Structure 1
């Protein structure tokens, strides 16, 4: 093979090959890092020491090795990997002899249940309201869709379809659109606005910052230019006389779409026929402004946009309360943002700026301290005397900020020196390098948002995260995490890790930072799912312990040891047979035909799924058969159970246990038993 060169699709064409979605796993990949913290649902936070292959009664089996306080070890069978969760924060490891973990978990569960009960009651009231359905198939709507100059991604199309289904029903919409930076959420929102406007209704779009509201105003005006839709902008740039005209026009119905900041909430503004509120960057808003519109306009449709994507597990957990559409695929032509974590030097800055200017682009230079930002400009003028630079920050007059941004957008100067004021809203395709100084002082989500200001076209973009001091462990973790998740579409990993690293979060509308930090984000979400099942009186699926004494491991010749943890957790955390089928297809596509050992792992996971549905506590596979122990409160049809046990020549071991005469290599028989006793 000396004369053969292997070249990837991306190296030739400049964009990654879009994988067939049918063979992508529907479960989030989890790769536990050796010698890093990990959370076990029952034992608490320990140190993951890797996969250990052990001889158990003559059988080779893989285990997750976890070390706790006093060097105590727990070996978790790979079939029970669903009890393991990532933990990215900094915490003391737990002791197996302490009740501290159980106390923390119990306190978190109580807090979650209380908050969810309140949320369920709030949204339940909305669900009984009705309003006239929208006509989502008007000619104007079809024409508006046809004018979109790009090809929609599949996720965009699904989100648009979700909105159409909501708006064509007689129930007020309550939908959250989650998507990574520049993945097309605004276009989806404009489709919703078009439906409302062409049905003769008014729309309000609320943004958290003045800059973002200005950006939306320009985008909406450009998109609706060929349609008789009147759009107005109301923010701190708006003059007092203009505000009065806008207020009057809203009351008379002359304005169809209002783009605004908080001023809509605080000002005495009335609409003639407001039917849709779109709240962008909804994570920046408190509950008050969201509830304000629902109280004043009872039947209003609510559409929220979030640039902090939600993990799939949380999506599933809260989907019964609020409908969620996730946009997780980038436009095809978009390239990854090349991200560098470097010590700040004049050489790095000079080369980065000159490289961008040489190809005709522009640069964001972020320095987040107003008191020293002018000194930074002086230093840059000495370093790069031939390029013009301007400064913006929040203390400048509003009119000056607007003019500088407009000039920069029009290419009148190439370098904009700014505080983090640019974090939300600037969508400039010619700016493809961002330099962030003192990056160690930013939160991870903030860095991710800033980094998302570039790379909004098909030109390769660069982000330089520069630090000028000795980094703390947390700061280094933040910066390396951003570099690690450089690929677009992994923003939710960023949000997740940020929550754990900083211990912050209000994912249920109230601050839960203490509980998230105590348990880790993944496990916290698991408790949300359990609490929602309890509140809605659904059957709560509890953990099933499996003891299978036989060769049970993934051969190293098939999957490398470093990748095994991801595959073990992928299989163990699947929620249904359909997911396991997609996982099987994914493994075969990536690694080749499944060996019998891997097929057996998947078969055992299928058994575990049915065991959870029938309230099985423990399954023990022996040489002569299978012992099944149920939870004491399991609701099982006793007559069916007796009939099935007799048919399999089994026997009752106790009030909650049975023995079945089943060959452990014939797992289909056990599957049918579990199906037939409920």
Structure 2
């Protein structure tokens, strides 16, 4: 299948939601249309829920919290780090939402360790100081314990009690905690999905905080939906959300993005090598010598004890503990708590630590058999270290007989490249399979994303949300120009094929004529004076931008006239053109219901590109009801592209 170089923008890189190679569709076959239809249906369902929920919240009166007072400012001051600008903005957004009488539904998106918990802490403090209770829902028991420790420590100087319900607690302990919650004696309750069970009742719930919502199941989501219309909801996620999706969600879901790392945070030094005992011993001892702790990840429960015993022989000076999901609850709790309290130097564990655990003194992680894990898991696991001012190290060890596929090697290399802080977002855009890719705004959608690719999936969400909000939505016009002149970048002018392709892509994705002079200058500066073919290409690109603005799908240039084809969706309303056409009967004629022929006199290219341009500008000045693709709006109506 060949496409003209000037229309390269219609190609998208396929990024699915899993590691599998995509199944190719036959040109002219039905499978692609069916997959697209299925994805559209699923997207519409999600968008409908979001839009309905938004409408419900809009008309529902919630509780308006008071403005921050002296005690709130005092609580803020107990934060031991300097806030980043993004963090300050996120806190302001949350406080503003809470002060409104419309129930809050805000999503805080930030990389691992960028301070989302602090935003949640301040929201919780605001709620309890206004006499309301707070529920915090987290995906794992270990994370619940971690948050319980953090919240308890920060609330200690104040008369607010923090409680926890999790599988680490006995039935009697849970019953007592829940009785105190009902009586209003516990102000903040932290727990896993146990919080959503019927016996959990609050005296005066005002705020629900949800950590990594996309990790909860369908039934739990349904229960959360009921909460959303009644109380303020603050959701936290480390799943990156691309800019396009942020724009699509404006006015449906409120987003705050934390992209800047804490100032004193250092990037994680990452090494990739085959398993080697001397490397492991050296890595563990180096960390112990500076008073730190080590995570050793071995994600095979069957052989984890053997690995622990091997490490005991290898590093006898280290105190070891083992943690994985198949341990008895008490044993798992004990291992984690001992590690938290620094009674253990090395925690030999499964990927149970992948979500949210925050242990600032653990600054080395060794991940064994890294080739068996997905990129998303590795990225999350690596984020467990480097959460303090200390330099952190991650050792990614390959199985001894590992045969990495080229694809797996590429992805691990990508991870090595993205050692910078806040790389989560950029890494996700580099390879959207990270973190399952399918968790779009808290909804697991990996199957649909795999079917149509991420970029198209995001476009479908934009379309569904716009339509459900009652806005007009048009597919962005990608004009075709049929003109009989050579318009391309010759190999002798730009020799590198990759560079040529990149320039074509950049030219074809320009959205405004104002960007073209800059591109002209750059090309001339890098490759010298333009040969005729390049001059022609730039002229064609300028016409393309004009056609895009006028909502014209295709232009055919003949010896004395141009024929303009409008989209079939009725975007060209002939009524808007009639006055102008009536005044110039010898110049314009309709060749079909969506085709307009314009006489411009003798056309000899490249000399007469200016003539074509003038004819198009004249149409624009005639106030044709056009679709402005650069703004995504049809003139005179609030619509989305």
- TM-score normalised per structure 2: 0.81
Deviation track 1:79-133 (CA, whole Å, cap 9, x = no partner) reads: 5414423346513444435444334333333443344335433443333211232
Quote the offset at 1:567 in angstroms: 6.3
In 1, the alpha carbon distance for the partners of 2:409 and 2:361 equals 30
Deviation track 1:212-258 (CA, whole Å, cap 9, x = no partner) reads: 11111222233334433322222223344443332232222222211
Which residue in 2 is equivalent to 1:633? 569
Quote the offset at 1:326 in angstroms: 2.0
1:486 to 419, 422, 441: 419
1:538 to 443, 465, 471: 471
In 2, the alpha carbon distance for the partners of 1:135 and 1:417 equals 47
Which residue in 1 is equivalent to 2:624? 677
SS where residue 213 of structure 1 aligns?
helix
Say if 1:524 and 1:606 are closer, same or farther in 2 by CA, change over 3 A: farther
Say if 1:670 and 1:497 are closer, same or farther in 2 by CA, change over 3 A: same
2:9 to 72, 76, 81: 81
2:459 to 517, 523, 526: 526
Quote the offset at 1:203 in angstroms: 0.9
1:133 to 58, 64, 73: 64
Quote the offset at 1:274 in angstroms: 0.3
Whether contact under 8 Å (1:614, 1:636) holds in the other structure is no
Say if 1:608 and 1:207 are closer, same or farther in 2 by CA, change over 3 A: farther
Quote the offset at 1:284 in angstroms: 0.9
Unaligned runs of 5+ in 2: 601-607, 626-641
In 1, the alpha carbon distance for the partners of 2:453 and 2:546 equals 28
Quote the offset at 1:436 in angstroms: 0.9
Say if 1:310 and 1:603 are closer, same or farther in 2 by CA, change over 3 A: farther
Whether contact under 8 Å (1:309, 1:495) holds in the other structure is yes
In 2, the alpha carbon distance for the partners of 1:590 and 1:432 equals 46
SS where residue 127 of structure 1 aligns?
helix
Which residue in 1 is equivalent to 2:554? 618
Deviation track 1:25-49 (CA, whole Å, cap 9, x = no partner) reads: xxxxxxxxxxxxxxxxxxxxxxxxx
Whether contact under 8 Å (2:273, 2:398) holds in the other structure is yes
SS where residue 158 of structure 1 aligns?
helix
In 1, the alpha carbon distance for the partners of 2:440 and 2:243 equals 14
Determine if the alignment matches structure 1 residue 657 to structure 2 residue 595. yes
Which residue in 1 is equivalent to 2:213? 282
Which residue in 2 is equivalent to 1:108? 39
Which residue in 2 is equivalent to 1:322? 253
Say if 1:164 and 1:436 are closer, same or farther in 2 by CA, change over 3 A: same
1:507 to 437, 440, 447: 440
Whether contact under 8 Å (2:15, 2:431) holds in the other structure is no
Which residue in 2 is equivalent to 1:273? 204
2:386 to 431, 435, 455: 455
Whether contact under 8 Å (1:500, 1:517) holds in the other structure is no
In 1, the alpha carbon distance for the partners of 2:134 and 2:537 equals 53
Whether contact under 8 Å (2:137, 2:209) holds in the other structure is yes
- Bigger shift: 362-371 or 324-333? 324-333
SS where residue 3 of structure 2 aligns?
strand
SS where residue 74 of structure 1 aligns?
coil
Which residue in 1 is equivalent to 2:93? 162
Quote the offset at 1:201 in angstroms: 1.2
Quote the offset at 1:379 in angstroms: 1.4
Quote the offset at 1:590 in angstroms: 14
SS where residue 421 of structure 2 aligns?
coil
In 2, the alpha carbon distance for the partners of 1:670 and 1:403 equals 75
Say if 1:199 and 1:349 are closer, same or farther in 2 by CA, change over 3 A: same
Which residue in 2 is equivalent to 1:215? 146
In 1, the alpha carbon distance for the partners of 2:545 and 2:319 equals 63
Whether contact under 8 Å (2:208, 2:234) holds in the other structure is yes
Whether contact under 8 Å (1:423, 1:450) holds in the other structure is yes
Which residue in 2 is equivalent to 1:69? none
Determine if the alignment matches structure 1 residue 516 to structure 2 residue 442. no
Deviation track 1:615-649 (CA, whole Å, cap 9, x = no partner) reads: 42224578978653211333445454345666899
- TM-score normalised per structure 1: 0.77
Whether contact under 8 Å (1:559, 1:591) holds in the other structure is no
Which residue in 2 is equivalent to 1:13? none
SS where residue 368 of structure 1 aligns?
coil
Say if 1:609 and 1:203 are closer, same or farther in 2 by CA, change over 3 A: farther
Quote the offset at 1:434 in angstroms: 0.8
Determine if the alignment matches structure 1 residue 186 to structure 2 residue 121. no
SS where residue 149 of structure 1 aligns?
coil
Which residue in 2 is equivalent to 1:26? none
Quote the offset at 1:185 in angstroms: 1.0
In 2, the alpha carbon distance for the partners of 1:640 and 1:502 equals 50
Quote the offset at 1:366 in angstroms: 0.5
Quote the offset at 1:494 in angstroms: 4.8
Whether contact under 8 Å (1:652, 1:659) holds in the other structure is yes
- Bigger shift: 559-568 or 411-420? 559-568
Which residue in 1 is equivalent to 2:603? none
In 1, the alpha carbon distance for the partners of 2:69 and 2:229 equals 25
Whether contact under 8 Å (1:175, 1:324) holds in the other structure is yes
SS where residue 2 of structure 2 aligns?
strand
1:384 to 287, 290, 315: 315
CA RMSD, Structure 1 to Structure 2 (Å): 4.0
Whether contact under 8 Å (2:148, 2:190) holds in the other structure is yes
Whether contact under 8 Å (1:338, 1:486) holds in the other structure is yes
Say if 1:103 and 1:493 are closer, same or farther in 2 by CA, change over 3 A: farther
SS where residue 616 of structure 1 aligns?
coil
In 1, the alpha carbon distance for the partners of 2:461 and 2:95 equals 29
Which residue in 2 is equivalent to 1:44? none
Which residue in 1 is equivalent to 2:403? 471
Say if 1:607 and 1:316 are closer, same or farther in 2 by CA, change over 3 A: farther
Whether contact under 8 Å (1:314, 1:525) holds in the other structure is yes
Whether contact under 8 Å (2:489, 2:500) holds in the other structure is no
Deviation track 1:330-361 (CA, whole Å, cap 9, x = no partner) reads: 22332222223322222332232233334443
